[in-house]
């Protein structure tokens, strides 16, 4: 292993720079040269790189974002090109293979969520020596207990809930906080419990508006003049569907969710006459410094990825199982979405605390 490359793909999250730093630091101890690929797989298609050394990663541990840049479009196996007015999809995977050969890359580390890791898995099947590192604020990868970035996003959401509590109480309002998470409710559930929500609405448990109204009215009958509701962007009413905000052409999953809390707030106001307000936290959840937990996890994942390459373990992903860092086959990492178990301990804990899921 003389020369490795690293790329960050998909939506950014706190901790990406910490992974890059840890990879470079460990590689330098083994006299391995590290090349950073700019803007995810796009840099591998177009040949855009950045030489990484100890100097270039100095001071990166706490910095949000990624110094390499990222994109959630540009899938080399299905690359969107303009053909007149139309958009056609072409296979650019050979360009990637050519660049890796030309640069004499012995190992590639792909830091990404399910979209980027799926692409990594396809390249692994073509013989590219790849190791994946699981990142996403959504925590929706089934082969690991935690992705880095998730805990930082939950911390941001809890901070927002603390702030919403004080203003909700002053004005006797119903306050909705919409959080990200795509098709899963991990951020909403954990932030909702840690932030003292009264109602948590997640995609795994379609809500019945009548049940949410009952929960709000029950609080008022107990003398509480305000209510806090955490809504996952993927939440949907019983028998309803996702609220789509936009479609992003060229993205592995073009659907962007968002705005369901406005529908919910309108219904609550109409059925209770209580003043109801919405805050959509959006990309604030993806920005800023990683928490100590995420810095540690990112550092463990980065060094473990280099160790996999040194051991000749390719086509795998670093993962957290309990308190141990392990490696799992990439294929198992991208096969299945990890959703919130609706009869699991966390949901039960919330219910034991009197939190309603609108079910
Ligand atoms: O996967 C991370 C995530 O932040 C999701 O929670 C959210 O649905 C999506 O990405 C937003 O993507 P974009 O930045 O393209 O709007």
* Triad 167, 275, 243: Cα angle to 5°: 95
Give the atom of ligand 1 at the shortest distance from the alpha carbon of 251: 15
Kind plus residue range of the DSSP H or E element containing 81? strand 79-83
Low-confidence ranges of the chain (pLDDT < 50): none
Does the domain at 151-287 match CATH 3.40.50.970? Answer given as no
Intervals of CATH 3.40.50.450 along the chain = 3-148+290-333
Give 265-321 pLDDT, tens digit per residue: 999 999 999 999 999 999 999 999 999 999 999 999 999 999 999 999 999 999 999
Q: What was the pLDDT predicted at 24?
A: 98
Judge contact between 47 and 98, C-beta under 8 A: no
DSSP assignment string, 103-168: TT-SEEEEEE-HHHHHHHHHHHHTT--EEEEEB-TT--BTT-S--BTHHHHHHHHHHHHHHHHHHH
Q: For a ligand 1 pocket test, name from 70, 137, 152, 180 the mutation site with the most ligand atoms within 8 angstroms of its C-beta.
A: 180
Q: What was the pLDDT predicted at 207?
A: 98
Q: In terms of DSSP H, where are the helices of the chain?
A: 16-29, 41-46, 93-102, 114-125, 150-171, 186-194, 209-221, 260-272, 292-310, 330-334, 345-352
**Of 81, 80, 76, 55, the residue nearest 67 (C-alpha):** 55
How many angstroms does the Cα of residue 256 sit away from the middle of ligand 1? 7
Intervals of CATH 3.40.50.460 along the chain = 151-287
* Residues framing ligand 1 (Cβ under 6 A): 11, 72, 113, 136-138, 180-182, 233, 248, 256-257, 286
Cβ contacts of residue 353 below 8 Å, gap of 6+? 193
Q: What was the pLDDT predicted at 171?
A: 97
Q: What was the pLDDT predicted at 252?
A: 79
Which option is the CATH number for 3-148+290-333: 2.60.120.620, 3.30.420.40, 3.40.50.450, 3.40.109.10? 3.40.50.450
- State the catalytic residues: 138
Q: What was the pLDDT predicted at 149?
A: 98
Q: What was the pLDDT predicted at 85?
A: 82
Q: What was the pLDDT predicted at 250?
A: 76
**Of 245, 183, 230, the residue nearest 356 (C-alpha):** 230
Report d(CA 173, CA 226) in Å as an integer: 5
Cross-strand pairs, 319:
326
Q: What was the pLDDT predicted at 86?
A: 85
Q: How many CB atoms lie within 10 A of CB 98?
A: 13
Q: What was the pLDDT predicted at 82?
A: 83
């Amino acid at each position: 292993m003389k020369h490795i490359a690293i790329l960050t793909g998909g939506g950014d999250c706190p901790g990406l720079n910490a992974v890059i730093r840890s990879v470079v630091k460990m590689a330098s101890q083994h006299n391995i040269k590290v090349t950073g690929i700019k803007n995810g797989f796009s840099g591998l298609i177009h040949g855009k790189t950045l030489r990484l050394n100890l100097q270039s990663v100095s001071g990166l541990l706490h910095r949000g974002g990624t110094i390499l840049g990222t994109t959630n479009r540009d899938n080399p196996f299905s690359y969107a090109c303009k053909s007149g007015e139309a958009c056609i999809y072409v296979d650019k995977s050979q360009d990637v293979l050519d660049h890796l050969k030309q640069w004499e890359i012995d190992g590639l580390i792909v830091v990404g969520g399910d979209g980027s890791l799926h692409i990594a898995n396809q390249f692994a099947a073509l013989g590219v020596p790849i190791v994946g590192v699981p990142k996403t604020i959504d925590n929706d990868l089934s082969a690991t207990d935690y992705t880095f970035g998730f805990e930082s996003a939950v911390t941001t959401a809890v901070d927002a809930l603390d702030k919403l509590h004080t203003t909700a109480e002053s004005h006797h309002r119903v306050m909705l906080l919409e959080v990200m998470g795509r098709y899963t409710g991990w951020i909403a559930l954990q932030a909702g419990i840690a932030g003292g929500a009264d109602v948590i609405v997640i995609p795994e448990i379609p809500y019945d508006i009548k049940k949410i109204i009952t929960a709000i009215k029950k609080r008022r009958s107990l003398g509480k003049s305000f209510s806090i509701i955490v809504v996952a962007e993927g939440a949907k009413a019983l028998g309803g569907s996702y609220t789509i905000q936009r479609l992003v052409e060229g993205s592995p999953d073009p659907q962007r969710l968002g705005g369901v809390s406005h529908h919910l707030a309108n219904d609550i106001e109409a059925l209770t006459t209580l003043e109801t307000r919405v805050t959509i936290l959006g990309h604030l959840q993806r920005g800023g410094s990683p928490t100590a937990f995420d810095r540690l996890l990112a550092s463990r994942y980065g060094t473990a990825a280099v160790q996999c390459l040194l051991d000749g373990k390719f086509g795998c992903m670093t993962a957290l199982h309990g308190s141990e860092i392990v490696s799992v086959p990439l294929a198992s990492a991208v096969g299945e979405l990890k959703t919130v178990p609706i009869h699991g301990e966390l949901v039960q804990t919330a219910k034991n605390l009197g939190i309603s899921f609108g079910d």
